[in-house]
Structure 1
Protein backbone atom coordinates (compact mmCIF):
# COMPACT_ATOMS: atom_id res chain seq x y z
CA UNK A 1 0.00 0.00 0.00
CA UNK A 2 1.30 3.48 -0.80
CA UNK A 3 2.33 5.71 2.08
CA UNK A 4 2.57 9.47 2.36
CA UNK A 5 3.90 12.03 4.81
CA UNK A 6 2.15 15.09 6.17
CA UNK A 7 4.38 17.85 7.53
CA UNK A 8 2.22 19.39 10.22
CA UNK A 9 2.00 23.05 11.19
CA UNK A 10 4.37 22.49 14.13
CA UNK A 11 7.00 21.03 11.78
CA UNK A 12 6.53 17.43 12.89
CA UNK A 13 5.95 14.67 10.34
CA UNK A 14 3.22 12.05 10.25
CA UNK A 15 3.67 9.14 7.86
CA UNK A 16 0.46 7.28 7.09
CA UNK A 17 -0.97 4.59 4.83
CA UNK A 18 -2.38 6.22 1.70
CA UNK A 19 -4.73 3.81 -0.10
CA UNK A 20 -4.86 4.25 -3.86
CA UNK A 21 -8.03 5.99 -5.00
CA UNK A 22 -8.47 8.13 -1.87
CA UNK A 23 -7.79 11.85 -1.92
CA UNK A 24 -5.14 13.46 0.27
CA UNK A 25 -8.04 15.11 2.15
CA UNK A 26 -9.68 11.75 2.85
CA UNK A 27 -6.37 10.25 3.94
CA UNK A 28 -5.75 13.17 6.31
CA UNK A 29 -9.20 12.87 7.86
CA UNK A 30 -8.86 9.10 8.32
CA UNK A 31 -5.60 9.63 10.17
CA UNK A 32 -6.52 12.55 12.43
CA UNK A 33 -4.49 15.10 10.47
CA UNK A 34 -6.08 18.54 10.82
CA UNK A 35 -6.99 19.31 7.21
CA UNK A 36 -10.43 20.92 7.21
CA UNK A 37 -12.14 20.29 3.89
CA UNK A 38 -15.13 22.54 4.72
CA UNK A 39 -16.88 21.81 1.41
CA UNK A 40 -16.63 18.06 1.86
CA UNK A 41 -14.08 17.64 -0.90
CA UNK A 42 -16.14 19.12 -3.72
CA UNK A 43 -13.50 21.69 -4.80
CA UNK A 44 -15.67 24.56 -3.58
CA UNK A 45 -13.32 26.03 -0.96
CA UNK A 46 -9.61 26.21 -0.20
CA UNK A 47 -9.54 24.78 3.33
CA UNK A 48 -7.78 21.58 2.22
CA UNK A 49 -4.90 23.57 0.71
CA UNK A 50 -1.58 21.73 0.96
CA UNK A 51 1.90 22.50 -0.30
CA UNK A 52 3.26 19.58 -2.26
CA UNK A 53 6.93 18.68 -1.98
CA UNK A 54 8.79 19.96 -5.05
CA UNK A 55 9.95 16.47 -6.03
CA UNK A 56 6.32 15.33 -6.16
CA UNK A 57 4.60 18.28 -7.79
CA UNK A 58 5.43 17.31 -11.38
CA UNK A 59 4.10 13.78 -10.77
CA UNK A 60 0.58 15.08 -10.08
CA UNK A 61 -2.15 15.47 -12.65
CA UNK A 62 -2.41 19.16 -13.64
CA UNK A 63 -4.81 21.29 -11.60
CA UNK A 64 -8.16 22.00 -13.21
CA UNK A 65 -9.29 25.57 -13.84
CA UNK A 66 -11.82 25.11 -11.00
CA UNK A 67 -9.03 24.09 -8.61
CA UNK A 68 -6.86 27.02 -9.72
CA UNK A 69 -9.76 29.39 -8.96
CA UNK A 70 -10.15 27.96 -5.45
CA UNK A 71 -6.40 28.11 -4.84
CA UNK A 72 -6.56 31.86 -5.47
CA UNK A 73 -8.46 32.04 -2.13
CA UNK A 74 -5.91 29.98 -0.18
CA UNK A 75 -3.81 31.43 2.63
CA UNK A 76 -0.05 31.08 2.19
CA UNK A 77 -0.15 30.09 -1.46
CA UNK A 78 3.08 28.58 -2.83
CA UNK A 79 4.23 27.56 -6.31
CA UNK A 80 3.47 23.92 -5.45
CA UNK A 81 0.11 24.52 -3.75
CA UNK A 82 -2.77 22.15 -4.49
CA UNK A 83 -6.10 21.25 -2.93
CA UNK A 84 -5.92 17.99 -1.01
CA UNK A 85 -9.35 16.99 -2.27
CA UNK A 86 -8.04 17.02 -5.84
CA UNK A 87 -4.97 14.82 -5.34
CA UNK A 88 -5.91 11.14 -5.72
CA UNK A 89 -3.37 8.67 -4.43
CA UNK A 90 -1.97 6.04 -6.77
CA UNK A 91 1.03 3.72 -6.65
CA UNK A 92 3.19 6.25 -8.52
CA UNK A 93 2.71 8.69 -5.62
CA UNK A 94 4.03 6.28 -2.96
CA UNK A 95 6.09 8.47 -0.61
CA UNK A 96 4.24 11.72 -1.41
CA UNK A 97 5.08 14.56 0.98
CA UNK A 98 2.71 17.48 1.62
CA UNK A 99 3.02 20.37 4.06
CA UNK A 100 0.04 21.91 5.82
CA UNK A 101 0.05 25.72 5.55
CA UNK A 102 0.34 27.85 8.68
CA UNK A 103 -3.37 28.78 8.48
CA UNK A 104 -6.46 28.36 6.34
CA UNK A 105 -9.16 30.72 5.18
CA UNK A 106 -12.70 29.34 5.48
CA UNK A 107 -14.93 31.50 3.28
CA UNK A 108 -17.89 29.19 3.95
CA UNK A 109 -18.31 30.21 7.60
CA UNK A 110 -20.88 32.93 8.35
CA UNK A 111 -19.14 35.94 9.80
Structure 2
Protein backbone atom coordinates (compact mmCIF):
# COMPACT_ATOMS: atom_id res chain seq x y z
CA UNK A 1 0.00 0.00 0.00
CA UNK A 2 1.56 3.34 -1.03
CA UNK A 3 2.44 5.94 1.58
CA UNK A 4 1.74 9.65 1.14
CA UNK A 5 4.13 11.87 3.03
CA UNK A 6 2.65 15.34 3.56
CA UNK A 7 5.20 18.05 4.17
CA UNK A 8 4.38 20.51 6.98
CA UNK A 9 1.57 22.97 6.24
CA UNK A 10 0.40 25.47 8.88
CA UNK A 11 -3.31 24.71 8.41
CA UNK A 12 -3.57 21.09 7.22
CA UNK A 13 -0.58 19.33 8.78
CA UNK A 14 1.51 21.62 11.00
CA UNK A 15 3.97 18.83 11.86
CA UNK A 16 3.66 17.09 8.51
CA UNK A 17 1.99 13.70 8.27
CA UNK A 18 2.27 10.25 6.75
CA UNK A 19 -0.75 8.28 5.60
CA UNK A 20 -1.43 5.13 3.59
CA UNK A 21 -3.95 4.62 0.81
CA UNK A 22 -4.91 1.91 -1.61
CA UNK A 23 -3.63 2.08 -5.19
CA UNK A 24 -6.31 3.62 -7.39
CA UNK A 25 -7.21 6.23 -4.78
CA UNK A 26 -6.77 9.90 -5.60
CA UNK A 27 -4.47 11.90 -3.37
CA UNK A 28 -7.40 14.14 -2.41
CA UNK A 29 -9.56 11.18 -1.36
CA UNK A 30 -6.69 9.75 0.68
CA UNK A 31 -6.10 13.05 2.46
CA UNK A 32 -9.77 13.53 3.29
CA UNK A 33 -10.18 9.92 4.47
CA UNK A 34 -7.28 10.46 6.87
CA UNK A 35 -8.49 13.70 8.44
CA UNK A 36 -6.48 16.13 6.34
CA UNK A 37 -9.22 18.46 5.15
CA UNK A 38 -7.62 19.84 2.01
CA UNK A 39 -9.77 22.39 0.27
CA UNK A 40 -11.73 20.93 -2.66
CA UNK A 41 -14.31 23.53 -3.67
CA UNK A 42 -15.64 21.64 -6.71
CA UNK A 43 -16.12 18.40 -4.76
CA UNK A 44 -13.39 16.65 -6.77
CA UNK A 45 -14.99 17.21 -10.18
CA UNK A 46 -11.85 18.78 -11.72
CA UNK A 47 -13.46 22.20 -12.07
CA UNK A 48 -11.21 24.33 -9.83
CA UNK A 49 -7.67 24.42 -8.47
CA UNK A 50 -8.25 24.46 -4.71
CA UNK A 51 -6.84 20.94 -4.18
CA UNK A 52 -3.58 21.76 -5.98
CA UNK A 53 -0.51 19.98 -4.59
CA UNK A 54 3.13 19.83 -5.61
CA UNK A 55 4.44 16.27 -5.82
CA UNK A 56 8.01 16.38 -4.49
CA UNK A 57 8.67 12.63 -4.91
CA UNK A 58 6.84 9.91 -6.82
CA UNK A 59 5.39 12.15 -9.55
CA UNK A 60 6.17 9.62 -12.28
CA UNK A 61 4.19 6.89 -10.49
CA UNK A 62 0.89 8.80 -10.70
CA UNK A 63 -1.55 8.46 -13.57
CA UNK A 64 -0.87 10.62 -16.62
CA UNK A 65 -2.08 14.18 -16.47
CA UNK A 66 -4.93 14.99 -18.86
CA UNK A 67 -5.33 18.15 -20.91
CA UNK A 68 -8.23 19.48 -18.81
CA UNK A 69 -6.18 19.21 -15.64
CA UNK A 70 -3.24 20.95 -17.31
CA UNK A 71 -5.53 23.80 -18.37
CA UNK A 72 -6.82 24.24 -14.82
CA UNK A 73 -3.35 24.07 -13.31
CA UNK A 74 -2.37 27.10 -15.40
CA UNK A 75 -4.60 29.09 -13.01
CA UNK A 76 -3.27 27.56 -9.77
CA UNK A 77 -1.39 29.66 -7.22
CA UNK A 78 2.26 28.62 -6.91
CA UNK A 79 2.30 26.40 -10.00
CA UNK A 80 5.42 24.24 -10.40
CA UNK A 81 6.50 21.60 -12.92
CA UNK A 82 5.45 18.84 -10.48
CA UNK A 83 2.01 20.33 -9.74
CA UNK A 84 -1.13 18.20 -9.84
CA UNK A 85 -4.76 18.57 -8.83
CA UNK A 86 -4.95 16.11 -5.96
CA UNK A 87 -8.46 15.07 -7.03
CA UNK A 88 -7.06 13.87 -10.36
CA UNK A 89 -3.72 12.44 -9.21
CA UNK A 90 -4.30 8.70 -8.72
CA UNK A 91 -1.89 6.61 -6.69
CA UNK A 92 -0.17 3.52 -8.04
CA UNK A 93 2.13 1.32 -5.93
CA UNK A 94 4.89 3.82 -5.17
CA UNK A 95 5.12 6.22 -2.25
CA UNK A 96 4.70 9.94 -2.89
CA UNK A 97 5.68 13.09 -1.04
CA UNK A 98 3.46 16.13 -1.46
CA UNK A 99 3.59 19.77 -0.54
CA UNK A 100 0.26 21.60 -0.17
CA UNK A 101 0.72 25.21 -1.31
CA UNK A 102 0.08 27.85 1.35
CA UNK A 103 -2.61 29.62 -0.71
CA UNK A 104 -5.38 28.65 -3.12
CA UNK A 105 -7.56 30.54 -5.54
CA UNK A 106 -11.10 29.89 -4.33
CA UNK A 107 -13.52 32.28 -6.02
CA UNK A 108 -16.46 30.83 -4.10
CA UNK A 109 -14.89 31.82 -0.79
CA UNK A 110 -13.28 35.14 -1.75
Note whether the superposition's TM-score is higher than 0.5. yes
Q: TM-score, normalised by structure 2?
A: 0.86
Q: 1:61 to 1:20 in 2, by over 3 A?
A: closer
The number of residue pairs the alignment matches comes to 107
**Structure 1 length normalisation: TM-score?**
0.85
Which of 63, 66, 76 aligns to 1:64? It is 66
Name the structure 1 match of 2:24.
21
- The whole-number CA distance in structure 2 between the counterparts of 1:12 and 1:96 is 17
- Runs (4+) of structure 1 exceeding 4 A deviation are none
CA shift for structure 1 position 71? 0.5
RMSD across aligned positions (CA): 1.7
For residue 86 of structure 1, give the secondary structure of its aligned residue in structure 2.
Answer: coil
The unaligned stretches of length 5 or more in structure 1 are: none
Q: Distance in 2 between matches of 1:13 and 1:110?
A: 25
| Structure 1 residues 110 and 59, CA gap change in structure 2 (3 angstroms) | closer
Distance in 2 of aligned mates of 1:50 and 1:8: 13
Give 1 or 2: higher helix fraction: 1
